[in-house]
Structure 1
Amino acid sequence: TQWMDRNTDTFTQMGGEGATWIGQAPFTDTPHIFQNLGDGTYFHSGQLALRAAVAAGVNITYKLLYNDAVAMTGGQPIDGELRVDQLSQQIHAEGVRRIALVTDEPDKYPTRATFAPIVTFHHRRELDAVQRELREFKGVSVIIYDQTCATEKRRRRKRGKLADPQKRAFINPAVCEGCGDCSVKSNCLSVLPLETELGRKRQIDQNACNKDFSCIEGFCPSFVTVHGGSLRQPEAVGLNALFIALPEPTQPTLERPWNILLPGVGGSGVTTVGALLGMAAHIEGKGCSVLDQAGLAQKFGPVVTHIRIAAKQDDIYAVRIAAGETDLLLGCDLVVAASEEALAKLNDQIAHAVINSHEAATAEFTRNPDAQVPGAAMREALIDAVGAEKTHFVDATRLATRLLGDSIATNLFMLGYAYQKGLVPISAEALNKAIELNGVAVQLNQQAFLWGRRAAHDLAAVEKLAKPEELDEPICETLDEMIRFRVDYLTRYQDAAYAERYRALVERVNEIDPDASRSLTAAVARYYFKLLAYKDEYEVARLYSDGAFLKQLQAQFQGDYRLEFHLAPSWLAKRDPLTGEPRKRTFGPWMLKAFALLARFKSLRGTALDVFGYSAERRLERELIAEYERSIADLLTHLNPRNYRTAVAIAELPEQIRGYGHVKERAVAKVREQERQLQARLQVNELKVVQLFEPAA
């Protein structure tokens, strides 16, 4: 994950950035390279590497990230910092003859007279074009990417040190196709998977969102920005009367140091919990050591904190917990808690585990929209290492978010849960005092700790209070339910005749399907529907105006807010001169009325009066439906036990056709290649089947 699939090669010491290229350049046909360099490293010693590259006259572009923090080791302030205009002057003085400044806010420089005279200014969406230009530049060039570290922005906003823009991104899940283009554009793990009856969609984690808004650039009409208002506060917080008296747990004895291993992810407050435990132990006059292993401390990266608590400080001889010596595994993240490093610290004779069972998306999800967290296997590994009777799983992320309105409360919730189970040798009074002394979100953190205690005492009561308002999300448990749901959907989508077209093919498959699993019938039921219910202009309009969208908005936001829609209608969108892809535009709240009006004309779909139906995308969608019908009909005539699994695989191919416009076109091209491979497998069985996604001659 360190290189993030960006074709990055080699690494070097601080101050040696680009030095390897100085030696390699005369002996390779590669004319130019890019070199990444952070501002903290540049101020430390990287400027010497740049000076050496200038002296050597090599063709290299330094991509200098000016992010206002030493993000690699936890967000410390930079020593020897220069303003970005001063930085440009210094780079120019080193002999660099081409400097491009790329930023998310080009208008934040009211005067550019203080910059080096050779600097050009660009919005971050132009980064690719700038890179293509500079790779042809002879000599040393520099791209200064000026954008404050997103995690630092979030921290400063929470501490009141930076203005928090009253703007949030929201995804209409009904419109979302789950293609993942938004993650490609943003590389952000605050864009989470959302499992629905109609497949995996995406949603924004409003509590973890850094408000970078690059996800909006994803080519999809499901993105809306909410301006003003605030996140809706949960109602369960005020129901304190149900938990007036909590029994005090029996704390562990400190005949020897008590070892707590705290695995979690960066940006969620793992190190804060360690610091609070350390302060609480100090308040009680106990010995304590806290060791944070943050590694590459980027947001969502693995973080493991070693906490040792003793009766007195002299009882602690080492700060790191040795293998097999963990008394409490306080797993704030399931993936990190089940890692080899964490499991090696466990001994089933002494260890207890309190684990957040929430399956948070990993970095793989930004590259693979179908990535799954193997939660069941991870839970089994933890149970094997600790023992079922000493392992406690609780969906702390969901409960903390629902009860307190912020997922950042998860880790304090976990601490409260472990405390009430008698696994933390510090008093609740000392822990609450430590939270107070920390001075950050005091009430939220104290409430999170208290709700964790309540969950450990009576989880059923807490679950009842945290139950969200029902939003009529269907879950089909049987094949018949799945088919009925889709028939109803297609009737709303177009009309009863259109739905009957769907039902007729599914029933025909069901009559012939020879396997007891009905896998082929289920595949056709899902994916024939998916092709029939393509999201054209009429359908997108219907999904915005049918009431469900506004109900979902109201479930997340409150107050006076206005909406902006980010769309790229083919007849209006301008194309990027470099990529040729259409650019999205912003439309105001009046679009809701326009959607309601447009949705009324869905009966024109596919007729001669359908002005949208003549586009290449709409023609492709209609072709895919017809080809699928022909292919399934032909499959049924050749179906036998030997080719059953291959037939199911062919019927499931539309699962991978997602997205809009050029994103969908790329997906269709990949599916056609997969279909050719499956076709070859069928031909081995001497079957001649019409290719599913190959246009008829």
Structure 2
Amino acid sequence: MLIYDQHCAADARRQRKRGTLPTRNTRVVINEAVCEGCGDCGVKSNCLSVQPVDTEYGRKTKIDQTSCNTDYTCMDGDCPSFVTVELVPGKKAPKAARPVPPVVADPDFGPLTSTQNVFLAGIGGTGIVTVNQVLATAALRAGLEVESLDQIGLSQKAGPVVSHLRFSSSALEPSNRLTPGSADCIVAFDLLTATDNKNLDYGNAEKTVSIASTSQTPTGDMVYDKAVRYPEETSLLARLDKVSRTLRSFDALAAAQELFGNTAAANFLLIGAAYQSGGLRLPAEAIEEAIGINGVAVDANIAAFRWGRAAIADTAAFSAVTTPAKSVREPVVAPAHMFAGTTFTGETLRLVELRAAQLIEFQSVKIAQRYIDQVQAVWTAERAATERTDFSEAVARGLFKFTAYKDEYEVARMLVDPAFIEDVKSQVPAGENLTYKLHPPILRVMGRKKKIGLGPKSHVALKVLAKGKKLRGTKLDPFGYMHVRKVERELLAEYEAMIADLSRTLATDGYDRAVEIAALPDVVRGYEDIKLGNIELYKTRLRELRIECIDT
């Protein structure tokens, strides 16, 4: 038996919000560019606020600022992508103007003549039990008989939680739990939980009104293991649709973020949508009164309830305020003259344009031109063998990854990038004293086991270090003699030779095998020991594919 005695982090977060525990003023932000998406922070913290996110340059990690428990264990390890900012007590970020929800007509669902059964499916730590309490209070204020049940089992933060709510204008039969097939309404705060077989059993294709959030909240396995992916949204929705008379869905977390600047009110967007769809047959004024009785973020939650109603009754207005604004920053691409004489098109061209521009920033135009020429050679060989472009696309990604390895110069450049500074301000508007959390190799060799913080006065040193990229790969590069840097250069040379060999045999040696080999650099993630461990996995897979490689 293993007993782990510790204050529940989710409960500590609630108590801090209520003022019964001291507030922690340090906030953690991840630099997406520096992040390798290795998953080590998830392993170290076992925290569901450390969330994977897919980007142009592969899987990365972000911190969900709304649900973060501020225990800071995610910063353990060697990853240099973490920065912290401090919230000054009493100082609040300027309030942004929030859109006012439109007035919509109440749904016409007539008088309540039978017992209404509502099933709520979500995850721990996100307020599902609170929502059930609010709805039960609303039913009581409306003069109805009410029974409810919350099943949280052994769920921790982001573990499955389901709630049952039954209300009627007459006496209820003595059961606070729904029976299979009896749900008049299913509110899927979390689609994975709702589509579990035992939860789908409550639905009824002849009467159930389902409202689902398509937000993707990772499970513990997804945070812990970078190979585990979220299921396809379409397949999950199809499962829920089979047990529903009607199904409406939208990304509640993303909508709340756009409307309120955080995701805390997302639940009541769904409640509003459930009410407007006729699945939640309670008076709107009773629901809003119950939100006031609950006493937490009353204005935001009432606004969310009303916007949720608009999501059904005035979809154009809802879409206008919840669709993220397009970035005014155009993607940087390499100059057109560098592509003179190239013939690649489509996705391969797009990949190369973006990555060649990054290589100019990483090192030089010369390195970028070499990259372009190598992908062109692969493209030419591929055209002689097939019309498919998978191989050239995989090479465009893999060659870039091994070329632009993240040494001290590159990490420094990415950390002081003005675009990242602006990103930190957008995530934590009131944050000050931006501090980089780093574990320099020289200090690690000297025995230091924890990261150091480089505050604002030290930022100039990182800017100077970023300028040192001209030393990269020369005899004057002090970091180039480290084992990891030597291995990184060997990987690049080995990959270039391997791709050249594969290009010559595409027509005869198995195209799909070549594509898999070319895409393998994505396995190599992380920093220091984490990276070296993943390199071994990379080498092992190469050998399984009958590719000879150098031991590191």
Q: Report the TM-score when normalising by structure 2.
A: 0.92
Equivalent position SS for 2:433: strand
Encode CA deviations 1:126-148: one digit per residue, 9 max, x unaligned: xxxxxxxxxxxxxxxxxxxxxx2
Counterpart of 1:158? 17
**Residues 464, 231 of structure 1: alpha-carbon distance in 2 compared, 3 angstrom cutoff:** farther
1:284-363 equivalence runs, <5 A: 284-312=142-170, 314-363=171-220
TM-fit CA distance, 1:192: 0.7
Matches within 5 A, 1:175-324: 175-229=34-88, 235=96, 237=98, 239-240=99-100, 243-251=101-109, 253-312=111-170, 314-324=171-181
1:656 aligns with 2:523: yes
Quick check: 1:678 aligned with 2:545? yes
1:586 corresponds to 2:445? no
Return closer, same or farther for 1:451/1:659 CA change in 2, 3 Å cut-off. Answer: same
* 1:413/1:218 CA distance change after superposition, 3 Å: farther
Which residue of the partner structure matches residue 609 of structure 1?
476
Q: Does the alignment pair 1:520 with 2:394? A: no
Counterpart Cα distance in 2 of 1:428 and 1:592? 53
Look up the match of 2:438.
567
Structure 1 unaligned residues grouped into runs of 5+: 1-34, 38-63, 68-147, 680-688
Aligned-partner residue type, residue 321 of structure 1: L
Q: How does 1:385-396 map to 2 (within 5 A)?
A: 385-387=243-245, 390-396=246-252
For the aligned residues, what is the CA RMSD?
Answer: 2.1
- State whether residues 102 and 310 of structure 2, in contact with CA within 8 Å, keep that contact through their aligned partners in structure 1: no
Match of 2:337 in 1: none
Query: Structure 2 CA distance, aligned partners of 1:539 and 1:377?
Result: 40
| Alignment correspondent of 1:496 | 365
Q: Any conservation in 1 of the 2:51–2:223 contact (CA below 8 Å)?
A: no
1:466 aligns with 2:466: no
Name the SS of the counterpart of 2:540 in structure 1: helix
Q: In the alignment, does 2:407 pair up with 1:548?
A: no
Deviations 1:512-536 (A, max 9, x none): 1123331111110001100001011
Deviation at 1:206, TM superposition (A): 0.4
Residues 36-185 of structure 1 mapped to structure 2, 5 A cutoff? 36-37=2-3, 65=5, 67=6, 148-185=7-44
1:232 Cα deviation from its structure 2 partner: 5.7
Q: 1:457 to 1:245 in 2, by over 3 A?
A: same
Partner of 2:255: 399
| Rounded Cα–Cα distance in structure 2 between residues aligned with 1:265 and 1:604 | 50
Q: What amino acid sits opposite 1:636 in the alignment?
A: S
Q: Is residue 2:313 matched to residue 1:457? A: yes
Superposition deviation, residue 656 in structure 1: 0.6
- CA spacing shift, 1:459–1:232, aligned 2, 3 Å: farther
Letter in 2 for 1:653: L
Q: Shift of residue 674 of structure 1?
A: 1.1
The CA deviation at 1:343 is 1.0
Cα distance between partner residues in 1 of 2:537 and 2:173: 59
Equivalent residues of 1:234, 1:402 under 8 A apart: no
Distance 2:435 2:407 in 1: 20
* Residues 1:381 and 2:250 aligned together: no
- Tell me, in whole angstroms, the C-alpha distance in 1 between the residues paired with 2:33 and 2:211: 36
1:245-302, CA deviations, whole angstroms, 9 ceiling, x for partnerless residues?
2211223642221111100001111111111111111111111111111111311110
Alpha carbons of structure 1 residues 252 and 290: separation in structure 2 relative to 1, 3 Å: farther
Pair 1:666 & 2:524 matched: no
Q: Which residue number corresponds to residue 430 of structure 1? A: 286
Residues 463 and 323 (structure 1), Cα distance of their counterparts in 2 relative to 1, 3 Å cut: same
Q: Number of aligned pairs?
A: 534
| 1:475 Cα deviation from its structure 2 partner | 11
Contact in 1 for aligned 2:222/2:230 (Cα 8 Å): no
> Following the alignment from structure 1 to structure 2, what is the Cα–Cα distance between the partners of residues 575 and 231?
41
Identify if the C-alpha distance between structure 1 residues 677 and 538 changes in structure 2 by more than 3 Å, giving closer, same or farther. same
Is the counterpart of residue 529 in structure 1 residue 390 in structure 2? no
Q: C-alpha displacement at 1:574, in angstroms? A: 5.4
Change (3 A) 1:260 1:641: farther
When residues 449 and 641 of structure 1 are mapped into structure 2, their CA distance, relative to the original with a 3 A threshold, is farther
Question: What is residue 505 of structure 1 aligned with on the other side?
Answer: 374
Instruction: Tell me the TM-score normalized by structure 1.
Output: 0.74
Structure 2 letter corresponding to 1:296: L
Sort the Cα spacing of 1:560 and 1:534 in 2 relative to 1 into closer, same or farther, 3 A.
closer
Aligned to 1:61: none
Q: Is the 1:231–1:556 contact (alpha carbons within 8 Å) kept by the matching residues of 2?
A: no
- Mind listing any 5+ residue stretches in structure 2 that lack a counterpart? 334-345
Query: Using the alignment, how far apart are the partners of 1:234 and 1:675 within structure 2?
Result: 54
CA contact (8 A) 2:502 2:514 kept: yes
CA distance in 2, matches of 1:474, 1:308: 52
**8 Å Cα contact 1:251/1:424 also seen in 2:** no
Q: Decide whether aligned partners of structure 1 residues 214 and 627 sit closer, same or farther in structure 2, where only a CA change above 3 A counts.
A: same
User: Which residue identity lines up with residue 401 of structure 2 in the other structure?
Assistant: K
Structure 1 Cα separation of the partners of residues 229 and 347 of structure 2: 23
Change (3 A) 1:595 1:383: same
2:209 is matched by which residue type in structure 1? H
SS state of the match for residue 38, structure 2?
Answer: coil
Alignment deviations for residues 378-399 of structure 1 (CA, whole Å, 9 cap, x no partner): 1111122225xx1101111111
* 2:408 counterpart of 1:442: no
CA distance in 2, matches of 1:575, 1:503: 41
Once the two structures are superposed, residues 199-234 of structure 1 have per-residue CA deviations (whole angstroms, 9 ceiling, x without a partner) of 111000000000010001132100011112578677
Structure whose alpha-carbon radius of gyration is higher: 1
Q: 1:163 to 1:524 in 2, by over 3 A?
A: same
Tell me the SS of whatever aligns to 1:392: strand
Please say which of residues 668-677 and 448-457 is displaced more in the overlay: 448-457
The 3 A distance-change label for structure 1 pair 231 and 369 is farther
The corresponding residue for 2:342 is: none
Pick aligned residue for 1:629 from 486, 496, 510: 496
Classify the secondary structure of the residue corresponding to 1:385: coil
Q: Which residue of 2 aligns with 1:371?
A: 228
**Higher RCO (CA-CA < 8 Å; seq separation 6+):** 2
Displacement, 1:321? 1.0
- Secondary structure of the residue aligned to 2:474 is coil
Q: Distance in 2 between matches of 1:285 and 1:184?
A: 49
The aligned counterpart of 1:142 is none
Q: Counterpart amino acid of 1:482?
A: L
Identity of aligned residues (%): 37
- Which amino acid counterpart does residue 36 of structure 1 have in structure 2? L
Q: Kindly tell me: are residues 435 and 208 of structure 1, through their superposed partners in 2, closer, same or farther at Cα, counting changes over 3 Å?
A: same
One-letter code of the match for 2:273?
Y
C-alpha displacement at 1:402, in angstroms? 2.3
In structure 1, distance between residues paired with 2:226 and 2:328: 25
- Take 2:508 and 2:196, find their aligned partners in 1: how far apart are those partners? 41
**Displacement of 1:544:** 1.7
Q: How much does 1:489 deviate?
A: 1.0
